[in-house]
């Protein structure tokens, strides 16, 4: 005979701090917002007294297979699946940081199914600006796994719409910004800022982020303001091509490629910048934009994907069409000519990102946890068909 199920109100009053959670996702030193968000979330949950077991999807390769492409994925996949199976058997909830492409197929989908097989509720925290394209191409493969998830969480209204178009009702839980690390040092503008502006691009060197457009825009800016400087922070397969473009544009002495920047060093990077450029071709909710705004650095970004859901043109950032170096350059030069606009963008940007601090995000995330746990308790307490018979 089964026990009486808890009511919804009783279940939602369960002590969240007694939860045991498996958090599945990438970790630094891999660059990118998802790895940093996974690490940050684990620390914040633990600060709430929640027991967190990190299941890392990007653990280091074994040394003997580091140069063998065919075996590298397997050497990472099998230990991941084993840890995942063990973790799902001893936690109350699985929180899966998910992305598009092979990351979904190799890591997110197996996590959902293993959690399902182990009887552990799973939350899919889907991220990434290419979701719409990925779903159009591979939704027949994605849907069976999504149907097994107990809840879907997305960080933006942009992804909320993408999922709704495919018949799902995700809950929006924004990304988290740590104001103790990213804060504004903004002071009144001075002539040296206008005469020698320091521009920053903080995206990986991949085609999707279109750093080439930033370089072409900077050429226009540099011709107008010869003391301007551009820093490109990140690594990726486009480095050689971008360095070649820098040489062909004759701006080599005014451009710095930093290579990989550790997460701990990112605040200093923003504090040394006057304007941040985001030339991406597709995006969801770029952490780099939020970090820039929190640091008091005005943003000039392409108007793609979830970015117009995140910032408002003319109020919290300047938005321009993609692959349009002239428009990006004009926006930067406009800021240099109108310091009052810079001050307004700084103030509005800091006010905007205040809603992405942990106290605000915590309320939404804990509500999702409580709802999933309560529904799981009710469902598991229902009499089985055999008991009813």
* Nearest-angstrom CA–CA distance, 223 and 234: 25
Domain count, the chain: 2
* φ and ψ at residue 55, rounded to 5 degrees: -110, 105
198 bridge partner residues? 229
Q: Is residue 53 domain-shared with residue 152, that is, in the same domain?
A: yes
Instruction: Answer yes or no: do 132 and 199 share one domain.
Output: no
**Do residue 161 and residue 221 come from a single domain?**
no
Least confident span in 118-122, 230-234, 261-265, 286-290? 261-265
The answer to whether residue 110 scores a pLDDT higher than 60 is yes
Q: How far is CA 80 from the centre of its chain?
A: 22
Question: What's the domain range around 307?
Answer: 191-354
Whether 260 maps to a domain, the answer reads yes
> In the prediction, which pLDDT does 128 show?
78
Is 185 part of any domain?
Answer: no
- Tell me if 184 is assigned to some domain: no
- Please indicate, yes or no, whether residues 67 and 172 belong to a single structural domain of this protein: yes
In-domain check, residue 265: yes
pLDDT per position as a tens digit, 308-322: 999 999 999 999 999
CA pair distance 12, 6, nearest whole angstrom: 9
**What is the pLDDT confidence band of residue 179, given thresholds at 50, 70 and 90?**
confident
Are residue 308 and residue 370 in the same domain, yes or no? no
Same structural domain for residues 93 and 216? no
* 60 and 21, same domain (yes or no): yes
Average pLDDT of the residues in 359-366? 94
Among residues 279, 295, 307, which one has the least CA distance to residue 353? Answer: 295
According to DSSP H, which parts of the chain are helical?
Answer: 8-12, 33-47, 69-88, 102-103, 109-117, 131-146, 157-165, 191-195, 211-224, 239-248, 266-271, 287-294, 307-310, 325-337, 339-353, 358-381, 385-388
Give yes or no: residues 239 and 157 share one domain: no
The CATH number given to whatever domain includes residue 229 is: 3.40.50.2000
Q: If you average pLDDT over every residue of the chain, what do you get?
A: 88
Comparing 28-37, 119-128, 292-301, 306-315, the range with the smallest average pLDDT is 28-37
* pLDDT mean over 96-124: 95
Q: What is the mean pLDDT of residues 357-379?
A: 91
DSSP-assigned beta bridge partners for residue 9: none
> What per-residue confidence (pLDDT) applies to 146?
97
* Contact (Cβ atoms closer than 8 angstroms) between residue 197 and residue 231: no
385 compared with 160, residue with greater pLDDT: 160
Q: How confident is the model at residue 64 (pLDDT cuts 50, 70, 90)?
A: low
pLDDT for residue 380 = 73
Is 247 part of a structural domain of the chain? yes
Is 269 in the same domain as 280?
Answer: yes
Asked, for residue 1, whether it belongs to a domain, the answer is no
Q: Kindly state whether residues 291 and 244 are assigned to the same domain.
A: yes
Q: How confident is residue 378, by pLDDT bands cut at 50, 70 and 90?
A: confident
Q: How far is CA 10 from the centre of its chain?
A: 34
pLDDT level of residue 344 (50, 70, 90 thresholds): very high
**DSSP-based three-state secondary structure for 136:** helix
pLDDT for the residue 377:
82
For residue 318, being part of any structural domain is answered with yes
344 in the same domain as 205: yes
Residue 6: pLDDT band by 50, 70, 90 thresholds? very low
pLDDT over 60 (residue 101): yes
243-300, pLDDT tens digit by residue?
999 999 999 999 999 998 888 889 999 999 999 999 999 888 888 999 999 999 999 9
The HSE-up count of residue 318 (CA atoms within 13 Å, CB side) is 23
Mode of pairing for the β-strands spanning 93-98 and 20-25: parallel
Is it the case that residue 11 has pLDDT exceeding 50? Answer: no
Task: Report, as an integer, the average pLDDT of 47-53.
Answer: 94
Work out the pLDDT band at 386, boundaries 50, 70, 90.
low
- Cβ atoms of residues 128 and 284 within 8 Å: yes
Same domain for 13 and 116, yes or no, is: yes
Residue 14 belongs to some domain of the structure: yes
CA count, 13 A, side-chain hemisphere, 32: 19
């Amino acid at each position: 005979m089964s026990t009486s199920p808890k009511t919804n109100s009783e279940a939602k009053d369960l002590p969240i701090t007694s939860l045991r959670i498996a958090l599945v996702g990438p970790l630094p030193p891999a660059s990118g917002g998802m790895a940093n968000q996974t690490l940050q979330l684990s620390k914040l949950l633990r600060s709430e007294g929640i027991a967190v077991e990190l299941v890392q999807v990007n653990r280091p390769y074994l040394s003997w297979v580091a140069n063998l492409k065919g075996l590298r994925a397997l050497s990472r996949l099998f230990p991941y699946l084993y840890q995942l199976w063990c973790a799902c058997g001893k936690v109350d909830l699985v929180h899966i940081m998910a992305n598009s492409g092979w990351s979904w197929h190799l890591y997110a989908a197996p996590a959902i199914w293993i959690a399902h097989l182990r009887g552990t509720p799973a939350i899919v925290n889907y991220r990434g600006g290419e979701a719409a394209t990925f779903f159009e191409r591979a939704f027949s493969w994605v849907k069976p796994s999504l149907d097994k998830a107990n809840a879907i969480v997305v960080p933006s209204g942009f992804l909320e719409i993408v999922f709704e178009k495919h018949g799902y009702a995700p809950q929006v839980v924004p990304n988290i910004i740590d104001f103790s690390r990213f804060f504004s040092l903004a002071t009144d503008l001075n002539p040296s800022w206008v005469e020698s502006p320091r521009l920053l691009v903080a995206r990986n060197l991949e085609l999707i982020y279109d750093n080439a457009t930033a370089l072409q825009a900077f050429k226009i800016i540099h011709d107008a303001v010869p003391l301007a400087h551009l820093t490109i922070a990140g690594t990726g397969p486009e480095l050689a091509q971008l360095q070649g473009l820098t040489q062909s544009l004759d701006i080599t002495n005014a451009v710095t490629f930093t290579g990989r920047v550790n997460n701990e060093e990112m605040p200093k990077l923003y504090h040394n910048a006057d304007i941040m450029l985001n030339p991406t071709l597709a995006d969801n909710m770029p952490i780099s934009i939020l970090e820039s705004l929190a640091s008091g650095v005005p943003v000039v970004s392409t108007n793609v994907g979830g970015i117009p859901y995140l910032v408002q043109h003319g109020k919290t950032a300047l938005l321009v069409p993609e692959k349009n170096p002239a428009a990006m350059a004009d926006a930067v030069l406009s800021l240099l000519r109108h310091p009052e606009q810079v001050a307004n963008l700084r103030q509005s940007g800091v006010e905007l990102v205040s809603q992405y601090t942990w106290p605000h995000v915590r309320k939404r995330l804990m509500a999702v946890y409580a709802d999933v746990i309560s529904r799981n308790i009710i469902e598991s307490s229902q009499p089985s068909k055999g008991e009813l018979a």
